[in-house]
Amino acid sequence: MTASKPLHIVGFGGTLRPRSSTVRVLERVLSEVESQGATVELLQLEQLGLPFYEWGVEPTEGVHRLVRAFASADALVWASPLYHGTISGAFKNALDWLELLAQEVPPYLSDKPVGLIGVAGGVQSLQAISTMDHIVRSLRGWTIPMVVGINRSRDLFAEDGSIADPHARAQLAILGSELVKSAGLFRAARASVAQSGSK
């Protein structure tokens, strides 16, 4: 990580309900990321006001904000609730708008590490993570090995909104640390390739 340009990591997720559990766990990860010197940006689904994706539909300002943030990120962390065994429809719709990155060089999420968090009211959060992993791969990104599955989310928080479960707190902190490390490795690799190409 260079002093002149810190790593930039974007958190994305939530539901259409303000202050959802997924947003609060994203905030915990991004707090760890910031403590390691990276800059962060949090994109909350309920604040973007995204229309349904359809080819040819005019992108809104919320769509442009989403796409710009993903394109500028050194790494991303996604968090989705588990709805009926998979990610939420709103989350998937947002990712469909990344088709706007198809013509970028490199396209989509090429060479961007992505951390994944699934949040379930029950005990099957890994199903959301599995779905997101397939999407990351199709967008040419790299899922980092550390993933966090949050089960029984209603029991996760203390009355003040903080994360009461010490195990979950530790996992989210590790995920933040792994994101920073992965982003740094990918940046160094790109710089090495660029330097080799200029010789």
* pLDDT tens, position by position, 75-128: 999 999 999 999 999 999 999 999 999 999 999 999 999 999 999 999 899 999
Which is nearest to 69 in space by CA: 93, 88, 89, 48?
Answer: 48
DSSP 86-112: B--HHHHHHHHGGGGGTTSSS-TTTT-
158 has pLDDT over 90? no
For position 198, what pLDDT does the model report? 64
Closest CA to 76 of 98, 54, 104, 105: 98
Q: Average pLDDT of 162-176?
A: 93
What's the average model confidence in pLDDT over 174-186? 97
Band (pLDDT 50/70/90 cuts) for residue 196 is: confident
Cα angle vertex 93, ends 91, 98, to 5°?
100
Instruction: Name residues whose C-beta falls within 8 Å of residue 137's C-beta, 6 or more positions apart in sequence.
Output: 143
CATH of domain 8-197: 3.40.50.360
> Which residue ranges make up each domain of the chain?
8-197
pLDDT at 17 over 90: no
pTM for the predicted model, two decimal places? 0.93
